[in-house]
Structure 1
Amino acid sequence: MSSTITGAAVGVESSASTAARAAVVEFAHARTWLLRSPLIAAAECPADVLVLDLEDGLPAARKSEGRDRALRMLRGPAAGAWLRISPPGTADGLADLDLCRRAGDALGGVVLAMCAGPDDVERVSAALGDGVPVVPMIESAAALLAAPTIAAHPRTARLAFGTGDFRRDTGMAADRMALAWPRAQLTVASAAAGLPGPIDGPCGEVAAARDAADHALAMGFTGTLALDPAAVDDAHAGFTPSPAAIAQARELAEATPTGDVDGSYAPALARARALLTRAAALGAL
């Protein structure tokens, strides 16, 4: 099943250009996840992953129309895109899962909005099978406390932080200090479960996208949601190892220690190797 998607003009591509969108970044390493309503016919997708948003991206009165549109896109120019779906215990969630089943191999994966716990991931997995990766969104206080068990579910591919709904649930401000603890919890839960770094909430205005990505990376995140295609390039830059960082990591990884080394050497070497692995996966070497 296709799991990635590169930049494309949805709704206007030929089949040849669709085939040319060879996956250059697997979802495990994807830096940007662009949320777009399926009602937008010609949305540019420069992101690593296109996510057709069936939850917040569709007004209640146009849910059915939006699902039909999403299915046509998946069967055509947006093959390999992901779907953001409502919780599986809701009527909208069940309808979204039915659409996912109908999409078959054209579906890249599922972003699960408002995930309450591992049972929600299990319901999605039971409905769609083991071959569909799931990215649960942590968007409430209860979900944050359940993040370790959500991350440990075998169908969980990565965690994502839904900052807007999380702030609404907790009363926290849109402040880096206030959100540092929940972000750290998601990073720790992901690492403990052997997952890639989590995906941050939307990177915000275009002018702030690079700074937001730099901060998220420092918190252990390795990707971000995006709402504006124009923010993607700067977000990519923030999550992609720089040439200087690659050179430094390569020097450390290739060096042969002489004499005694202290306790910092092994962790530093592991970080250097991890950076080089990530750079290779992103085509940055």
Structure 2
Amino acid sequence: MSLLHTPAGAASAAPAPVRVVHARTWMLRSPLVGELDTAADVLVLDLEDGLPAARKDEGRARAERAAAAGPVWLRISAAGTPDGEADLALGRTLGGQLAGVVLAMCAGPADVAHVAASLPPRTPVVAMVESAAALLSAPAIAAHPATLRLAFGTGDFRRDTGMSADRLALSWPRAQLVVASAAAGIAAPIDGPCGPVGLAHDAAAHAAGMGFTGTLALDDAAVAGAHAAFTPSADDIASARTLLAATPDGPVDGSYAPALARARALVARAEALAAL
């Protein structure tokens, strides 16, 4: 998709557009990069790590110009920092041209509240959990009314905790984000960047198995593999529909109820993704 296809009206619409609730790939791209077209479901102009300190103002100006072509998602710096406040000022300037924000280094629900109060009403917030303290606050972050989804900032989380990139080491924090999202009734979380292009499908498949339904991305070449991993397969869809057709009025006993619920959710997700 291109920047022009970012859903219009996201800043004032409730509930959030299907595209971002079900989005599989969130491409982080510096506004200093000339080419903004991407195959990802959502393009996010990165005002945090995507801009060197000396070029922050230039990057914000370019993001503002990009918003003239259609509503944009912005990754903003930590709440309460000078860069974070400058990013929020840009968001207010964009008004209805701001589709939503990805909040870097979210420390707790107070950060989400501050960001939400500083932007146009009902601006969706994807809160990045990137520290041990934030992980412990994940249920409260997810429960905030402005939080659309959680995202796992794996790089900074590993730096903060000393954990390796080993999947077993990161399985507990990933599970915590999935459980926090489910308990809050919001969409499943977004995993950290899906890694080297050749490993994108494998990394995304692992995240999908953990209960994630999307991933951050840094390279368009990784998008196809990630999309394949987060999209229900034809066989899975067929099996789910067969199960639902066999029990149109529900199961005779309660033992099949969880399987039917999973089948309905899988078919609903497949249909939503087909509409992207």
Equivalent residue, structure 2, for 1:245:
236
1:87 maps to which of 78, 83, 89: 78
2:213 maps to which of 222, 226, 242: 222
Q: Answer yes or no: is the 8 Å Cα contact 2:39–2:220 preserved in 1.
A: yes
Counterparts in 2 of 1:92 and 1:210: CA distance versus 1, 3 Å: same
Deviation, structure 1 residue 255: 1.1
**In the alignment, does 2:32 pair up with 1:39?**
yes
**In the alignment, does 2:103 pair up with 1:112?**
yes
> C-alpha distance in 1, partners of 2:260/2:190?
25
Deviation, structure 1 residue 53: 0.2
Deviation, structure 1 residue 22: 6.9
Equivalent residue, structure 2, for 1:3:
none
The alignment's TM-score, normalised by the length of structure 2, stands at 0.92
Deviation, structure 1 residue 54: 0.2
Deviations 1:208-257 (A, max 9, x none): 11111111010000000000011111101110111101000111112128
Counterparts in 2 of 1:48 and 1:260: CA distance versus 1, 3 Å: closer
Cα RMSD of the aligned pairs, angstroms, is 2.0
The alignment's TM-score, normalised by the length of structure 1, stands at 0.89
**In the alignment, does 2:176 pair up with 1:182?**
no
2:41 maps to which of 48, 51, 54: 48
> C-alpha distance in 2, partners of 1:48/1:64?
27
**In the alignment, does 2:143 pair up with 1:152?**
yes
Deviation, structure 1 residue 129: 3.4
**In the alignment, does 2:46 pair up with 1:65?**
no
- 1:188-267 alignment runs, 5 A limit: 188-256=179-247, 263-267=254-258
Q: Answer yes or no: is the 8 Å Cα contact 2:92–2:120 preserved in 1.
A: no
Deviation, structure 1 residue 131: 2.0
Q: Any stretches of 5+ residues in structure 2 without a counterpart?
A: 9-16
**In the alignment, does 2:22 pair up with 1:29?**
yes
What is the DSSP-based 3-state SS (H/G/I as helix, E as strand, rest coil) of the residue aligned with 1:150?
Answer: helix
The 10-residue stretch of structure 1 (261-270 or 48-57) with the greater mean CA deviation from structure 2? 261-270
> C-alpha distance in 2, partners of 1:75/1:187?
35
Q: Answer yes or no: is the 8 Å Cα contact 1:130–1:155 preserved in 2.
A: no
Give the letter for the 1:239 counterpart. F
Deviation, structure 1 residue 100: 0.6
Deviation, structure 1 residue 63: 0.3
Q: Answer yes or no: is the 8 Å Cα contact 1:240–1:284 preserved in 2.
A: no
Greater fraction of residues in helix: 2
Give the letter for the 1:202 counterpart. P
Equivalent residue, structure 1, for 2:14:
none
Equivalent residue, structure 2, for 1:281:
272
> C-alpha distance in 1, partners of 2:249/2:87?
59
1:170 maps to which of 161, 166, 176: 161
What is the DSSP-based 3-state SS (H/G/I as helix, E as strand, rest coil) of the residue aligned with 1:130?
Answer: coil
What is the DSSP-based 3-state SS (H/G/I as helix, E as strand, rest coil) of the residue aligned with 1:100?
Answer: helix
Deviation, structure 1 residue 104: 1.3
Between the two proteins, the alignment pairs up a number of residues equal to 268
What is the DSSP-based 3-state SS (H/G/I as helix, E as strand, rest coil) of the residue aligned with 1:157?
Answer: strand
Q: Answer yes or no: is the 8 Å Cα contact 2:25–2:227 preserved in 1.
A: yes
Deviations 1:157-191 (A, max 9, x none): 00000000000000000010000000000000000
Q: Answer yes or no: is the 8 Å Cα contact 2:7–2:19 preserved in 1.
A: no
> C-alpha distance in 2, partners of 1:242/1:195?
23
